[in-house]
């Protein structure tokens, strides 16, 4: 399964409307095990295990969901456009080494930054202690490595 963590930003009115759409999707999911609409037709992959995180700001909403293999960014872009919200989707399909962050604007334009295998190949995993090592430093999760070192690696590679 691909885990998707989405942060939406926009007007309080649009956030409130979209929260209702998500709640309707969750209700539908309880019967049919997947959300198939979210205000637009879903083409790439359904939304499984949809969950709305606690809302701390009226202009921001965070939700998580799963897809079968990869993030459904085309569908998420259509949802963002329909809801008139900007979205940032951090995704991870750990079994297939798919990690990334996609920024989607309220017009549905997507900028996807999938972590390349060139970087992932530099990360070592120890079966002995369960820790990841990158450039001599140990990390508890591969996500920690990506969060702390990926941008630096990209800058070095591009210079």
User: Are 91 and 110 part of one and the same domain?
Assistant: yes
Tell me the residue range of the domain where 128 lies: 116-159
Q: Write the DSSP symbol of residue 62.
A: E
Q: How far is CA 57 from the centre of its chain?
A: 20
Q: Do 34 and 107 fall within a single domain? A: yes
Residues 37 and 17 in one domain: yes
At 122-147, the pLDDT tens digits run: 999 999 999 999 999 999 999 899 99
Task: Please tell me whether residues 74 and 125 are part of one structural domain.
Answer: no
Q: Is the pLDDT of residue 31 over 90?
A: no
Residue 39 is classified by DSSP as: T
> Per residue in 68-123, pLDDT tens?
888 999 999 999 999 999 999 999 998 888 999 999 999 999 999 999 999 999 99
Q: Say yes or no: 99 and 27 in one domain.
A: yes
Q: How many domains does the chain have?
A: 2
Asked whether the predicted pLDDT for residue 22 surpasses 80, the reply is yes
**Band of pLDDT at residue 40, cut at 50, 70 and 90:** confident
* Same domain, yes or no: 88 and 133: no
My answer on whether 103 and 127 are in the same domain is no
Same domain for 136 and 110?
Answer: no
Shared domain for 67 and 11, answered yes or no, is yes
Q: What pLDDT sits at residue 39?
A: 76
The encoded tokens of residue 29 equal: 């999911």
* Same domain (yes/no): 8, 76: yes
Give the mean pLDDT of 40-60.
85
For 14-27, what is the mean pLDDT? Answer: 92
Q: What is the mean pLDDT of residues 35-39?
A: 73
pLDDT at 37: 67
Separation between Cα atoms, residue 61 and residue 118, nearest integer Å: 33
């Amino acid at each position: 399964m691909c885990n998707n963590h989405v942060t939406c930003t926009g007007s309080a009115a649009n956030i409130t409307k979209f929260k209702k759409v998500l709640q309707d999707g969750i209700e539908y999911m309880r019967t049919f095990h997947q959300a198939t609409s979210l205000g637009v037709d879903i083409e790439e992959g359904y939304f499984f295990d949809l969950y709305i995180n606690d809302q701390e700001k009226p202009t921001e909403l965070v939700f998580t969901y799963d897809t079968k293999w990869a993030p459904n960014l085309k569908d998420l872009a259509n949802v963002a456009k329909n809801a008139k919200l900007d979205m940032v989707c951090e995704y991870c399909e750990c079994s297939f080494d798919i990690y990334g962050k996609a920024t989607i604007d309220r017009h549905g334009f997507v900028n996807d930054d999938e972590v390349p295998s060139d970087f992932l190949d530099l990360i070592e995993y120890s079966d002995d202690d369960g820790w990841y090592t990158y450039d001599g430093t140990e990390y508890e999760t591969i996500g920690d490595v990506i969060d702390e070192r990926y941008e630096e690696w990209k800058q070095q590679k591009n210079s």
